[in-house]
Amino acid sequence: MKKHNNFLFSHLSSDLPAGLVVFLVALPLCLGIALASGAPLFSGIIAGVIGGLVVGALSGSHTSVSGPAAGLTVIVLNAITELGAFDIFLLSVFLAGVFQLIMGLLKAGVIGYYFPTSVIKGMLAGIGIILIIKQIPYALGVSEGESLAQYIPFVNDWEAVKNLKHLGDDLGWGAIIITALSLGILILWDKPFMKRVSYIKLFPGPLIVVVLGIVLNQLFLVTAPSIYLGETDRVILPIVASWEGFTKLFTFPDFSQISNPDVWLAAITIGIIASLETLLSLEAADKIDPYRRISPPNKELIAQGIGNMANGMVGGLPVTAVIVRSSANIGSGAKTKMSAIFHSVLLFGSVFLIPSLLNLIPLASLAAILLQVGYKLARFSLFKAQVKLGWDQFLPFIITIIGIIVFDLLIGIGLGMGVAIVYILMRNFQNSHFEEKYFKEKGETIKITLSEEVSFLNKGALMKALDEIPDGKHVIIDGSKSVIIDHDVLEVIENFKINAPGRNIDVDTIKIRGIKVGGLH
């Protein structure tokens, strides 16, 4: 243990600067994701702190950073709406953490391997599209007062979608200017030539956008008060003036709703999706780690579970490992998990040291950041790449997206999985065997060599192949390469042998054990 601690503290010269960069990236994202989730903005800060401090300390990853994730915004928004109160939602976050903890203890970290990549990409793209839709009101400055509810469409809420056509009636030009300039900066900051500038990483795009938004809005106040963004269009974080004020920052779960089935449904949904996103981000972070260290997935699930239990207990959003923060961490030279822990300390300190400054951030600045996040999840190149891979990849991908947008996240994933499974069954149907024909002393011989594993899924393909063999041929059925031949397939072969004399077909089998069919061998 002492050796481990020495290792953590031996790289502070690299980890502390990296933690500072991650903090600058994470602060606007924590606020923005809370905004998109329909949750109190401070819940995003709490989640960021716990993601770094608790999950970071317990995780087996040296470089992964956890916090509130864009991939959970749709689930969180719907759960808060359907459950009717934030404290009830927190109970589902706590239970989701318990679920993740159990999965980790049961060594279920391989769960991510059983979801087709096409469905996972479709899930993230669908979330990205919904994230974009939900930021439009903030980006166009129509979030003031009662107008917000009618413009933000929920999943499967087509009346709200139709209301988007009225956006032009209430445009806020101050927000539009800030959004447009912010998107320009974010796009510029992503260009390869900008990334080659060494000091640029010390000034992340989201931080520049936030500072720009504050400066522009203060200029509006002096030069064009009519487009100035007031309190309702800016971040609202509580200002702590006493211990009592500090304790009021936290919200606690309503355990009286423990028997509510909707709470359990939300918990299971959050637990599964958060675990999937974590495992995918963990794998991606390991791939770009210059030291090629492998993070233990089961230990990560345990850490995430404890972190989400803590979030549920004190009012934080659910967290996952997040590739945006993790890549910023690695790119800034982090060597150990101390960078993730340090970034959470800075997040916590910012709420007490500069709350008045944070409350000057326009919601339009956060909307621009989230619009870019949404586009990265659902970028055009992703759709083009899936099309090039063929229908077996594109169809589950696009069905997942449509299902998420039209219905909800779980139904979308279920539909995508259903289509993917159909393609798997079709491939199994086709790959049961291969044929070859040649001439020997018995005339034309047709040899059917069975695959390594022949299951009941291959029964139809084999029956079709045997039925199409012309009468009077010599047939060899070779099972020497097969490790497993299902009972149903053996019955097909035995029935073919029984009926072959009637078609003047001579049948030989190689390494296929005999079975009884209708009393015959």
SS3 category, 255: helix
Residue in the structure block whose two tokens are 């890549």: 327
Please indicate, yes or no, if residue 396 is contained in any of the structural domains.
no
> How many angstroms separate the CA atoms of 77 and 82, rounded?
9
On whether both 490 and 365 belong to a single domain, the answer is no
CA 504 to chain centre: 59
Is the domain of 164 the same as that of 311?
A: yes
Q: Which of 378, 399, 420 is the last residue of a domain?
A: 378
By three-state DSSP, how is residue 8 classified?
A: helix
CATH code where residue 488 lies:
3.30.750.24
Choose one of 378, 399, 416: the last residue of a domain: 378
Q: Do the domain assignments include residue 384?
A: no
Instruction: Say whether both 147 and 280 belong to one domain.
Output: yes
Count CB neighbours of 239 within 10 A: 11
Residues with Cβ within 8 Å of residue 426, at least 6 apart in sequence: none
Same domain membership, residue 209 and residue 112: yes
Whether 63 is covered by a domain: the verdict is yes
Q: Are 53 and 46 in contact (CB under 8 A)?
A: no
Contact 52, 340 (CB under 8 A): yes
Let me know whether 146 and 244 are in one domain: yes
End-of-domain residue from the set 378, 411, 444: 378
**Does 317 share its domain with 176?**
yes
DSSP letter at 445 equals E
**What pLDDT score was predicted for residue 433?**
52
Is residue 101 within a helix (H) or strand (E), and if so which, with residue range? helix 86-105
DSSP string, 12-30: HHHHHHHHHHHHHHHHHHH
- End-to-end, the C-alpha distance of the chain in Å comes to 66
Residue 474 dihedral angles phi and psi, to the nearest 5°? -100, 125
| Closest to 325 measured CA to CA, from 59, 19, 42, 14 | 19
Q: Would you state the structure tokens that stand for residue 518, as one six-digit string?
A: 């209708």
Q: What domain range is 445 assigned to?
A: 432-510
Q: CA 506 to CA 122: how far, in whole Å?
A: 51
Q: How many domains does the chain have?
A: 2
In contact, 289 and 125? CB cutoff 8 Å: no
Residue with tokens 């233990």: 296
Considering the domain boundaries, does residue 180 fall inside one? yes
- Residue type at 324 in one-letter notation: V
Q: Are residues 321 and 175 in the same domain?
A: yes
Vertex 132: Cα angle to 327 and 148 (nearest 5) = 125
Could you tell me if 448 and 373 lie in one domain?
Answer: no
234 and 363 Cβ atoms separated by less than 8 Å: yes
- Tracing tokens 């990560």 back to the chain, one arrives at 300
Instruction: Tell me the C-alpha distance between 118 and 434, whole Å.
Output: 29
The answer to whether residue 298 sits within a structural domain is yes
Could you list the mean pLDDT of each consecutive 10-residue stretch along the chain, which spans 521 residues? 56 83 85 90 94 94 90 90 95 97 91 78 84 84 51 50 59 89 90 76 80 93 90 83 78 96 95 89 80 88 97 96 82 86 92 86 88 86 91 91 82 88 72 53 77 76 85 88 82 88 89 54 39
Please name the amino acid found at residue 163: N
Examine residue 333 and state whether it is found in any structural domain, yes or no.
yes
The burial of 179, by beta-carbon neighbours within 10 Å (0-12 exposed, 13-18 middle, 19 or more buried), is given as buried
Identify the H or E element spanning 508: strand 506-510
Same domain, 359 and 450: no
CB–CB of 466/492 below 8 Å?
Answer: yes
β-strand 506-510 against 484-485: which pairing, if any?
unpaired
Tally the residues of the chain: 521
In angstroms, how far is CA 366 from the centroid of its own chain? 20
Query: What pLDDT is attached to residue 287?
Result: 76
Assigned token pair, 156:
């499967």
Contacts of residue 324, defined as CB under 8 A and 6 or more positions apart, other chains included, come to 25, 29, 373
Residue 412 falls within a domain, yes or no? no
Predicted model pTM: 0.73
Contacts 24+ apart (CB under 8 A), 240-246: 240/351, 240/352, 240/355
CA distance 54 to 49: 8
301 falls within a domain:
yes
Cα–Cα distance, 455 to 429 (Å, whole number): 9
Could you tell me if 227 and 119 lie in one domain?
A: yes
Edge to edge, what strands does the sheet with 443-450 contain?
433-440, 443-450, 474-478, 506-510
Q: Are both 114 and 213 inside the same structural domain?
A: yes
If asked whether residues 342 and 491 sit together in one domain, one would say no
pLDDT of residue 482: 82
